[in-house]
Chains A and B, each alone.
Chain A
Amino acid sequence: MGKILMKGNEAIGEAGIRAGCLNYFAYPITPQSEVAEYLSHRMPEVGGVFLQGESEVAVGYMIFGAAACGARVFTTSSSPGVSLMCEAISYIAGAQCPAVFVNIMRGGPGLGGILPSQADYFQATKGGGHGDYRMLVMAPASVQEAVEMVMTAFPLAEKYRNPVMILGDGLIGQMMEPVEFPEHLKSEPSNKDEWATNGMETRKSKKRNLVKSLFLDPVKLNENNLILKEKYERMKREEVRYEPYNTDSDYRILIVSYGTMSRVCKTAIDNLKAEGIDVGMIRPQTLFPFPEDAVFQAASKKSCRMALSIEMSMGQMVEDVERCVHGRCPVKWYGKCGGEVPTPEEIMDVVKSCLS
């Protein structure tokens, strides 16, 4: 199959199906409603399940229920809706079930706006819901990458028995780009008989399974949290993804940027290069686990005088950049978070002002 032109949201829906996920529950919210609209006709075509829930709260638990009985399942939403799903995400992580959540971010806080934003970085990478849990968070910078990340997300969710989030901004959902779909994934969660409530009689062991996150014994709860922690440490060892850009040059400024924002930064970096100014960039593709070492190494380069976190938020990822740069150079933030996407010219000006 060759390339086709597709809107990001529709491509994300199709990617779910091609990842072998035939179960989708969602609630409409701008700017991601096209995923639900698309799957409302595509799921019946492929014999899958489509259901519009009564709220994002309920949808979160429809996902939990389905995931807990071993089905591959996903949902999509946008920032205020994801806030409501965070309760279920915490329960799913605590009970160790695999599920995929897509957040096509819009501006906040509150109702905020409906235009692109990256202001849910904290919510996605640091918690959102209560308790000691993490999600594996992937941030696509194109429709093609969104498709590939959605298809990667399901096996990863199953590998770790943990929620995985695709954190895209409104532009990724709304723009149309050429996209080519990878081969279908067919596999089901392989070890589900060990934990899923898929009916005792279907399992060889004939032992019943419990899916729960309640551990009234403090020792047992601590043990469960240590199991979760070990998974998150393993993610840090095995799942870090990032793209370096112009890092072979003797850059004096290092940009750290992700998603749509990183594409604008690339244009700015190319334009600056034409003017004789080298700027390097690390584009995290996973926000958790964060490319800690890559950012540290890039900031440690002899020529590097400053690291610049550029994001469509009022300064969230910059805290991780500061943490990882570890004092090797000053760290600054630049961003906007009302729905405007900073232009290449703005980024160029910011870089130049840092050099002057």
Chain B
Amino acid sequence: MGKTFKRPEALSEMDSHYCPGCTHGVAHRLVAEVIDELGIRGRTVGIAPVGCAVLAYNYFTFDFQEAAHGRAPAMATGIKRVRPDLVVFTYQGDGDLASIGMGEIIHAANRGEKFTTIFINNAVYGMTGGQMAPTTMPGQRTTTSPFGRDVKDVGMPIKVSELLSALITPAFIVRQSVIKPKYIVKAKKAIKTAFEYQLERRCFSFVELVSTCPTNWGLTPVEAVKWAEETLIPYYPLGEFKTPEQAEGGSDAK
């Protein structure tokens, strides 16, 4: 019997720097599998964020650009406007996208830029060492909310998918998770659909992935999955928030 589970061509052989129990690796693999399946590796440009995934370009085998913190959607806009034939995706965390880069993601989504965003929501800043993010849960302790997130002081965690879905411009907005196989299957489908909408040059596509960060949560990998499932997913419900068909008034016109 031959080998049935292989490394996607779009994924490099380099060992990752991600911590044990981190789900970046799963998300990277799903993106790579989709790029392989769609046969678009030769014309794909990824945009790395600032954060743990700044080194994402080491793990993929196609063209990559590196953005400043939060600016990936503006860079993707620049690329897609001048080279609409390229397939472009941004890969951003919650500090990058929902804090410093909130302006860029909202306007890119609202213009209906024809690129894809993979949004890793693990409710904390990773690379800078576990500081509070806009998505940090109420009461969650971080290195800058040592007594737990005080929502009276800093507000409630931002639900980015819901927020972007409020825009009138047609878009594909979905939230899935990569913490367990049953979620991963749906996450991959969402990522593939997102890239397909881009290939149709139809709309902005956005996949939020509820993820883990055991290191900065102070949990073991197993505890982290449990906490994500019991705490994050109830607050960040999974599913499709918006499809271009809905926003286009039910018509399937392309």
Interface residues of A (CB under 8 A from B): 23, 25, 49, 51, 53-55, 57-69, 71, 73, 87-88, 91, 95, 197-202, 206, 208-214
- Return the chain B residue nearest A95 by Cβ: B66
Residues on the A chain within 8 Å of B43, using CB: 199-202
> CB distance A199 to B82 under 8 Å?
no
Name B81's contact: one of A66, A200, A202, A213 (CB within 8 Å).
A66
- Return the chain B residue nearest A71 by Cβ: B82
A-B contact count (CB 8 A): 131
Name A53's contact: one of B42, B65, B68, B74 (CB within 8 Å).
B74
* A87 CB to nearest B CB, Å: 6
- B61: CB under 8 A from chain A? yes
Residues on the A chain within 8 Å of B45, using CB: 69, 197, 199
> CB distance B66 to A214 under 8 Å?
yes
Residues on the B chain within 8 Å of A202, using CB: 42-43
> CB distance A63 to B63 under 8 Å?
no
Interface string of B56-89 (1 = CB under 8 A from A): 0100011111111001001111110111011000
> CB distance B54 to A214 under 8 Å?
yes
Name B65's contact: one of A71, A199, A212 (CB within 8 Å).
A212
Whether A211 contacts B71 in the complex (CB less than 8 A), given A49-B82, A199-B45, A200-B41, comes out as no
- B36: CB under 8 A from chain A? no
- B229: CB under 8 A from chain A? no
> CB distance B78 to A211 under 8 Å?
no
Whether A61 contacts B66 in the complex (CB less than 8 A), given A54-B104, A66-B81, comes out as no
A71–B42 alpha-carbon span in the complex (Å): 18
- Return the chain A residue nearest B85 by Cβ: A199
Interface-central residue, B44, B76, B79, by most chain A CB under 10 Å? B79
> CB distance A65 to B107 under 8 Å?
no
> CB distance A58 to B74 under 8 Å?
yes
* A224 CB to nearest B CB, Å: 13
Residues on the A chain within 8 Å of B41, using CB: 200
In the assembled complex, 26 residue pairs joining A and B whose CB atoms fall closer than 8 Å, in A order, are A53-B107, A57-B71, A57-B74, A61-B68, A62-B74, A62-B78, A64-B65, A64-B67, A65-B47, A65-B65, A65-B78, A66-B79, A66-B82, A68-B65, A69-B65, A69-B82, A197-B45, A197-B65, A197-B79, A199-B42, A199-B45, A208-B61, A210-B57, A210-B64, A212-B65, A213-B66
